Amino acid sequence: EAGVVQSPRYKIIEKKQPVAFWCNPISGHNTLYWYRQNLGQGPELLIRYENEEAVDDSQLPKDRFSAERLKGVDSTLKIQPAELGDSAVYLCASSMATGWYEQYFGPGTRLTVT
């Protein structure tokens, strides 16, 4: 069974530039999550989708961050414009919609803003 796929794995951009991350969840998983992980810290939830609907985006900095999950499968997380403080690993995870199913994480995208 294929796991959660993320691309790119690494991205280096200059500040004020836009950047986008892509995630393909495990087939059949209705719930998709984006997390951000700063160096030396645990991941922090940015947004959670149930199918196409963003049901928890309270931690998403809406002035520069946006996300979408068209057709309830793949998802894209965008930052525009990027700031130095956005340097982090961006993790995507997916899970079944109900029950106590564990979350399956992708390998993450390491973003460096210079």
Partner 1 sequence: DAKTTQPTSMDCAEGRAANLPCNHSTISGNEYVYWYRQIHSQGPQYIIHGLKNNETNEMASLIITEDRKSSTLILPHATLRDTAVYYCIVRVAGSGGGADGLTFGKGTHLIIQP
Distance CA 11, CA 29 (A): 27
- 83 touches partner 1 by CB under 8 A: no
Q: Is 90 helix (H, G, I), strand (E, B) or coil?
A: strand
Size of residue set near partner 1 by CB under 8 A:
29
- How many Cβ atoms sit within 10 Å of the Cβ of residue 72? 14
Residue with Cβ nearer partner 1 (12 or 97): 97
Residue with Cβ nearer partner 1 (26 or 81): 26
Residue with Cβ nearer partner 1 (27 or 100): 100
Distance CA 46, CA 48 (A): 7
The alpha carbon of 81 is separated from its chain's Cα centroid by a whole number of angstroms, namely 17
Interacting residues toward partner 1 by CB under 8 A: 4, 31, 33, 35, 40-45, 48, 50, 56, 91, 93, 95-108
